[in-house]
Structure 1
Amino acid sequence: MVNAAQQIGYARVSTQDQDLEQQRLALGRIGCQRIFEEKVSGAKRDRPELGRLLDHLRPGDVLTVTRLDRLARSTTDLLHIAERLKTVGADLRSLAEPWADTTSPAGRMVLTIFSGIADFERSLISERTSAGRAVAREKGVRFGPKPVLTPEQIVHAIQLIGEGQSVSNIARLLGVHRATLYRALPQ
């Protein structure tokens, strides 16, 4: 038997003290056959009920929320969720933001524009970050973790190797792993 497409609701509040009743009523009024509910901060990546909802969706289903901020933490998060819906063949609808309705051509267009803007912003951030790193490198800033061994310790280790000491003994003396010492030594 083939399941008919459904309107599936998602309701979320940020704290245990808040109530889901208004969202539940609004989603029920527009005909959501099932409502996934969650009391968790939108800032959290792990939202188990949202994950279950996304796994539950079938082609033709419409994920409906009262407001987009109930569903997504950011534009990027919204676009990731929209892409996952598209992969499944499901749509997205927000009751408070009528432009966010991928069941209509206009809604799909708006989401496509948002996607382009988000991609453009990611490119700008990447360019700015790369340029900032290049300037910092020119000023002598070193990125990555601080070296474990000082230049003096490396010189001392080279002297000890020249005297016939084993790398294992030198590493133990310096309080580092052999691999750390090997990486620090000139080739």
Structure 2
Amino acid sequence: MFIRAYLRASTSEQDANRAKSSLKKFVSGFSKRIASFYIENKSGNSLDRPELIRLLDESESGDVLLVESIDRLTRLSPDDWKTLVASINEKGISVVSLDLPTSHLTFGSFPSDDFMRSILSAINNMLLEILAASAYKEYRERERKQKEGIVKAQQKGLYHGRQPDLEAHDRIASFTEAGFSINKTAEAVGVSRSTVIRVRKRLKNLD
């Protein structure tokens, strides 16, 4: 079994390496190590991700695709998600995600009883589908709100330039609501202080 970690961020403003230490710490708890890291700055809403494709090409049956959360792997539409899952299943790869506890059984003591194995596999697959669908729904909802926000900002004469990254915007908003400082928010999201300040200001103007 080779553990292949996939780390993704949407834009170059975000630090795709941010979760590396968390993934290392997670697998070390099972006395395992990560064989390879595949890191890229690409939207999770697209199948055109060279590093993810390379991971799949280099994987063998029994290998593990490790991610911090399912939304790092996919924000794909239902049809594109089916395409990705088909590729994963065809290669015989197991998906393990820190936010999907049932997937952790891949590294632990999986029941030897065939019936229980089937039940747990079915539950894991169902939860994986739910998280994938939720990630896509959240992406579309943020996209809708972002477009509405841009229209409002344009009407107020506040918006100029390219559309900000949706995922970074959402994460900054979440950490802001949780009371994180500008420095802590920038570190957690993997962006600059100026980006955090700019997004916070825009959020305040749109309230």
TM-score for both structures, normalised by structure 1: 0.52
Report the Cα offset of residue 80 of structure 1.
3.5
Distance (whole Å) between structure 2 residues aligned to residue 97 and residue 108 of structure 1: 12
Could you say what secondary structure the match of 2:14 adopts? coil
Report the Cα offset of residue 112 of structure 1.
4.2
Q: Which runs of 5+ in 1 are unaligned?
A: 118-187
In structure 1, the residue matched to 2:10 is 14
In structure 1, the residue matched to 2:64 is 62
**Percent of aligned positions that are identical:** 31
In structure 2, the residue matched to 1:99 is 102
Distance (whole Å) between structure 2 residues aligned to residue 66 and residue 90 of structure 1: 16
In structure 1, the residue matched to 2:143 is none
In structure 2, the residue matched to 1:81 is 84
In structure 2, the residue matched to 1:34 is 36
Report the Cα offset of residue 11 of structure 1.
0.2
1:82–1:92 Cα contact (<8 Å) kept: no
Q: Which amino acid aligns with 1:16?
A: S
Report the Cα offset of residue 56 of structure 1.
0.9
Distance (whole Å) between structure 2 residues aligned to residue 74 and residue 68 of structure 1: 11
Alpha carbons of structure 1 residues 84 and 62: separation in structure 2 relative to 1, 3 Å: same
In structure 1, the residue matched to 2:135 is none
Q: Deviations over 1:44-75 (max 9, x none)?
A: 23111111111111011011000000001247
Q: Tell me the number of residue pairs that the alignment of Structure 1 and Structure 2 aligns.
A: 113
Q: 2:121 matched to 1:108?
A: yes
Could you say what secondary structure the match of 2:101 adopts? coil
Q: Which runs of 5+ in 2 are unaligned?
A: 28-32, 111-116, 131-207
Larger radius of gyration: 1
Distance (whole Å) between structure 1 residues aligned to residue 129 and residue 54 of structure 2: 28
1:101–1:107 Cα contact (<8 Å) kept: no
Distance (whole Å) between structure 2 residues aligned to residue 112 and residue 44 of structure 1: 22
Distance (whole Å) between structure 2 residues aligned to residue 116 and residue 93 of structure 1: 13
The structure with the largest helix share of the pair is 2
Q: Which amino acid aligns with 2:16?
A: L
